[in-house]
Amino acid sequence: MNFYRLVNLIKEFFGLMYSNPILVSFCATTNAYAGWYECYNFEGTIGKFPVTLSMQVRKGYFGKPAKKKFNVIGIYKYNKYNSPIKLEGIFDEHNKQVTLYEVTGKNYSAVLQFGFSEKQCAGIWQNKATLNKLPVSLMFVSKLLDLERKQAFSSVDILQAQSLTRFYFIACYDKVNSADKAVLSELKIIQKSNGKIFQVIDLSKIDDAIGNVITVIYDNLEVVDAKKQIVGLSRNVGNDQAPLLIKWNTASRRFMLDKSLIH
């Protein structure tokens, strides 16, 4: 088991320990249901710069006393550069206010605040070092709710946190009514240089449940080897938690599924 997966499994364990009592009770009484994603996707601008942003509400994920009010993990990118940036913060559901901190290493480099709406959102972005401020304007695009069996959706795109030098990744999720969890049905590989789709990997015919193991939905793809351009997708295959590998083929100059790992 690699370090990345060990860290996420530890996070999942403590996330369950600190989770909302209502959620714990629900899981205990339903037994079979195991979904845990509540995500909202937006597009818009920070100042004059086009951005794409996604936030996942996850109560109790952080656990630390200093972050006891934190209940959101997020990701965003400036569309000119297409390099994902991690976010974490607070969603005040009563007042419909979101405060997200841009994570750079162990520090916060900026704070983004906006009023939450499933229509249009307005707020302020501020650089923590210079205190410069820019207006924020976001439009709601889609949501992924995987908290109950009856919830269903198709083709919801979720930006992934890790990327390669030339490419970033969008995981496309589906869920049918009564299914235990959302599943990753295809992976879009997109060129950072122009934002155009380079390749789409179809995962819909694989029996393994893909992309729903890690608590944070943006972490279901990991870069296994940046130099060789190998990435892995989390999958639920019992005791075997090895990721499903997607490798760059130098001959075809395309990404290929490692079919030796498919059950």
36-87 pLDDT, tens digit each: 799 999 999 999 999 999 999 998 888 788 898 999 999 999 999 999 999 9
pLDDT at residue 14 tops 50: no
Q: Which domain holds residue 90?
A: 37-142
Query: Does 124 share its domain with 47?
Result: yes
Residue 22's pLDDT band, with cuts at 50, 70 and 90, is very low
Domain end (from 95, 119, 142): 142
Max Cα distance, the chain (Å)? 55
Kindly report each contact of residues 243-247 with a partner whose C-beta sits within 8 Å and lies 24 or more positions away, as own/partner: 243/5, 244/203, 244/206, 244/208, 244/210, 246/187, 246/201
220 shares a domain with 248: yes
pLDDT at residue 113 greater than cutoff 70:
yes
List Cβ neighbours of 25 (8 Å cut-off, separation of 6 or more): none
| pLDDT given for residue 178 in this prediction | 85
Residue that is last in its domain, among 127, 142, 157? 142
Note the pTM of the prediction, 2 decimals: 0.85
Q: What is the pLDDT, as a whole number, of residue 263?
A: 58
CATH code, domain with 110: 2.40.128.120
Task: Give per-residue pLDDT as tens, 24-39.
Answer: 222 223 334 557 799 9
The predicted structure's pLDDT at residue 239: 62
